[in-house]
């Protein structure tokens, strides 16, 4: 009898299994939501490129059967923009950790957003540097611990939704691993969006962040994430909360249509050619 393959197996590099991700990690839930989104949209997998930096999340191009690039820590966004400029027909997706996207790569994030670069950035926010063993991240919430901030973080956390929106991102959403179907729907919107789309996912890192913060198993941390993740509809990005003790607001906060980076560049070149300036 021939074994029947799972219908989504074609999107996974099964030869690379098992993954390096810890048991109970939220990244697998994100990957599944993404491939379901691609499948439902019937996008040709050859038209998708996943670009990642270094981190646990950075392993994504290894495990998903799309073209991909695993580049320097923090530099996935400029590589992705380069790919998109060279091949506008491709859907270019950056998948990174909160350290990758907001610390070392923070500058790239804000400039990609202000340019409305036609890429999607997915940021796995596990509140900590996972791969390197649990250092404090720019997202580490007040009243939580990491191995380099054993008395709590010394500064207030970044709220990625507000940063992306303030910098000019034209699609901004935040979900959590507790809502995989809503996350999938959001991936579908981002993949179809013209311009810069940003999705933050609040996700559990049970082995490092969970342990140091007193969660005995992945489910306990997942429950906490489920409890604080409040979905709010019809509010703007600056009305959201990022508070470990009260609420991390989930939902879609920006969705607007503006000229993309490539369109703006093309317009400038066209105007320069028409006025004869490009001959100088
Ligand atoms: C230029 C450079 N600086 C630092 C590092 C070490 N480093 C690798 S991954 C990482 C942070 C990982 O945290 P995050 O981006 O949040 O991803 P996660 O592992 O949690 O998914 C750091 C500091 C590196 N590889 N390259």
CA separation (Å) from 252 to 18, 59, 198, 245, 268?
Answer: 33, 26, 10, 22, 32
Ligand 1 centre distance from Cα of residue 123 (Å): 13
- The answer to whether residue 86 sits within a structural domain is yes
- The answer to whether residue 151 sits within a structural domain is yes
Whole-structure pTM value: 0.97
Instruction: Name the residue range of residue 146's domain.
Output: 21-279
- The answer to whether residue 215 sits within a structural domain is yes
- pLDDT category at 279 given cuts 50, 70, 90 is low
pLDDT value of residue 27: 98
- The answer to whether residue 1 sits within a structural domain is no
Which residue's CA is the closest to the ligand 1 atom numbered 10?
55
> What does pLDDT average to over the chain?
96
Q: Is the pLDDT of residue 278 over 90?
A: no
Ligand 1 centre distance from Cα of residue 64 (Å): 20
- The answer to whether residue 16 sits within a structural domain is no
- The answer to whether residue 143 sits within a structural domain is yes
Question: Residues 86-103: what's their mean pLDDT?
Answer: 98
- The answer to whether residue 6 sits within a structural domain is no
Ligand 1 centre distance from Cα of residue 193 (Å): 29
CA torsion, ordered 146, 211, 133, 179, to nearest 10 deg:
-90
Question: Residues 39-51: what's their mean pLDDT?
Answer: 98
Distance between CA 67 and CA 21 in Å, rounded? 21
Hey, is 222 helix, strand or coil?
Answer: helix
Q: How many domains does the chain have?
A: 1
Which domain CATH number covers 246?
A: 3.40.50.970
Cβ atoms of residues 95 and 62 within 8 Å: no
**Which of 28, 53, 73 best tests ligand 1's pocket when mutated (most atoms within 8 Å of CB)?**
73
pLDDT value of residue 4: 74
pLDDT value of residue 280: 55
Q: How many CB atoms lie within 10 A of CB 159?
A: 21
Question: Residues 68-80: what's their mean pLDDT?
Answer: 98
Q: How many CB atoms lie within 10 A of CB 1?
A: 3
Hey, is 54 helix, strand or coil?
Answer: coil
The atom of ligand 1 lying closest to the CA of 125 is: 16
Ligand 1 centre distance from Cα of residue 90 (Å): 27
**Which of 55, 76, 103 best tests ligand 1's pocket when mutated (most atoms within 8 Å of CB)?**
55
Ligand 1 centre distance from Cα of residue 277 (Å): 44
Phi and psi at residue 62, in whole multiples of 5°?
-75, -30
Task: Output the ligand 1 site: residues, CB below 6 A.
Answer: 54-57, 73, 97-100, 124, 126, 129-132, 137
- The answer to whether residue 9 sits within a structural domain is no
Q: Name the DSSP letter for residue 41.
A: H
């Amino acid at each position: 009898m021939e074994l029947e393959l799972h219908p989504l197996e074609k999107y996974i590099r099964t030869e690379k299994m098992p993954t390096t991700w810890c048991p109970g990690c939220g990244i697998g839930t994100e990957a599944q939501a993404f491939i379901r989104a691609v499948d439902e949209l019937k996008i040709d997998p050859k038209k998708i490129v996943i670009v990642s930096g270094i981190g646990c999340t950075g392993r994504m191009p290894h495990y998903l059967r799309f073209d991909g690039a695993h580049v320097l820590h923090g530099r996935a966004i400029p590589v992705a923009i380069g790919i998109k400029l060279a091949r506008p027909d491709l859907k270019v997706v950056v998948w990174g950790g909160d350290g990758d996207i907001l610390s070392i790569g923070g500058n790239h994030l804000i400039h990609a957003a202000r340019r409305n670069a036609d890429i999607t950035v997915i940021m796995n926010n596990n509140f900590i540097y996972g791969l390197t063993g649990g250092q404090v991240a720019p997202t580490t919430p007040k009243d939580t611990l990491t191995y380099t901030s054993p008395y709590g973080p010394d500064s207030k956390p970044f709220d990625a939704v507000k940063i992306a929106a303030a910098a000019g991102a034209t699609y901004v959403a935040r979900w959590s691993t507790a809502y995989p179907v809503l996350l999938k729907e959001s991936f579908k919107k981002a993949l179809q969006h013209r311009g810069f789309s940003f999705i933050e996912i609040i996700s559990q890192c049970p082995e490092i962040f969970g342990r140091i913060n007193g969660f005995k198993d992945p489910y306990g941390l997942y429950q906490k994430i489920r409890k604080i993740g409040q979905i709010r509809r019809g509010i703007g990005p600056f009305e959201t909360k990022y508070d470990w003790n009260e609420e991390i607001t989930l939902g879609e906060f920006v969705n607007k249509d503006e000229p993309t980076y490539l369109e703006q560049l093309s317009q400038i070149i066209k105007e320069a050619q028409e006025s004869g300036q490009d001959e100088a």
